Amino acid sequence: MRDLGTGFGYLLKGQRWVFGHGRWFGFGLIPGLITLVLYVGALIGLAYGADDFVAWATPFADDWSEAWLAVFRGFLVFLVFALGLLLAVVTFTAVTLLIGQPFYEELSEQVDKSVSPDGTAPESGLPLVRELWISARDSLRIVVRVAAWAVLLFALGFIPVLGQTVVPAIGFCVTGFFLTQELTSVALQRRRVDLRKQLAMLRSRRLLVWGFGVPLVVSFLVPFVAVFLMPGAVAGATLMARDLTGEGGQDTREDPATVRLTVQDPDAR
């Protein structure tokens, strides 16, 4: 259970880091704002076009009585928009990371440098185009996995009691896991860790991942919050990536507690 608190601690440390480095906070907001504008436009279009889509998809119901037709198609319109909203929440991070790859790469590097004893950050050595291709390819693979989980959980949601209690909890854990994967991938790709190994790392520390990802998912449900938390989420995920790769124990460059311990008690080791 300790890993749950550690994961949440990385989320808080990331937010503190960006607020303590205001320039990088503003820099990290740009991709989220661009994605937000795109998604708002898409959801508005979906809201206006859902009626026509449902009517086109259900021609067999044209001859139903007006009351039953209104209830049936009204439910389907709600379902289409709800699924679109769920997809938007799930893919927001992936799209933001894709748009903001150069921004978040730079932000993640700065976090690495600030906690590394020698002030350096790992570099992939790959061209930017190659990095964008890998990011887009891996994001698509994750979206497919998330979509499969979404369909399964939606179907299980119709089970009485379990569908209203256990299934939503599982949904938050699944979404939190994949959200964390997307965020840590920024730092892990620079370390040349491929998607398969990333997933293996995260599965081996599920409580750590859930402690970081689930609170973030819950906060992302509040409109516009995702935009302002993304820079700190990338920073916190970078710190978590260092932990996952065994570098976390070296993060003492900006650790005042470690400095005080060294000064007050040289023999504490």
Return the residue matching tokens 């690495």: 112
Residue 258 lies in a domain: no
Residue 34 domain boundaries: 2-246
Count of domains forming the chain: 1
Residue 190 lies in a domain: yes
| Residue 253, pLDDT above cutoff 60 | no
For the segment 171-196, the average pLDDT, to the nearest whole number, is 89
DSSP helix/strand/coil, 255: coil
CA distance 252 to 247: 11
Residue pair 239/251 in contact (Cβ under 8 Å)? The answer is yes
Residue 216 lies in a domain: yes
What's the whole-number average pLDDT of the chain? 82
Report the pLDDT value the prediction gives residue 147, as an integer from 0 to 100: 83
Report the pLDDT value the prediction gives residue 255, as an integer from 0 to 100: 44
Residue pair 248/25 in contact (Cβ under 8 Å)? The answer is no
Residue 30 lies in a domain: yes
Residue 63 lies in a domain: yes
CA distance 61 to 86: 27
Residue pair 96/35 in contact (Cβ under 8 Å)? The answer is yes
pLDDT confidence tier of residue 248, bands split at 50, 70 and 90? low
Nearest 5°: the CA angle 173, 111, 36 is 55
Residue 239 lies in a domain: yes
pLDDT confidence tier of residue 136, bands split at 50, 70 and 90? confident
Report the pLDDT value the prediction gives residue 10, as an integer from 0 to 100: 94
Spatial CA neighbour of 110 closest among 185, 6, 186 = 186
For the segment 233-238, the average pLDDT, to the nearest whole number, is 93
Residue 253 lies in a domain: no
Residue 17 lies in a domain: yes
H or E segment at 213? helix 206-220
